[in-house]
Amino acid sequence: MKTALRQAPAQPAPARQKTKDALATERRAFERQRRQLLRRYAGQYVALYGGRIVGRDKDCEALAARLFTKLGDVPFFIARVETQPTFYDLPSPEVEG
């Protein structure tokens, strides 16, 4: 599963933790819905915000761009719907390491 995580730029420690918690919540929502998502969106990227699917696309960058326009600078979760997850660890210049 290729995963795109969006986080707000350079936040104080409590705000960063809140963002991480929000992304973890969205990831759990994705996992809970995986079986249903596989039936409807296999091979596509889906975006979750507030535990709900707010978008889908075959191109994760196009999906992210639409969501930035629609939702603004909030944490949302994007993942590819596939049976065997593929993980990519991509460091963000916006998050202190």
Q: Where are the domains of the chain?
A: 3-80
Residue 95: pLDDT over 90: no
Question: Residue 88 has what pLDDT?
Answer: 65
Question: Residue 36 has what pLDDT?
Answer: 96
Mean pLDDT in residue range 25-29: 93
Greatest alpha-carbon span in the chain: 40
Cβ neighbours, 10 Å, residue 4: 18
Question: Residue 9 has what pLDDT?
Answer: 56
pTM over 0.75: no
Tally the C-alpha atoms within 13 A of residue 97's C-alpha that lie toward its C-beta: 5
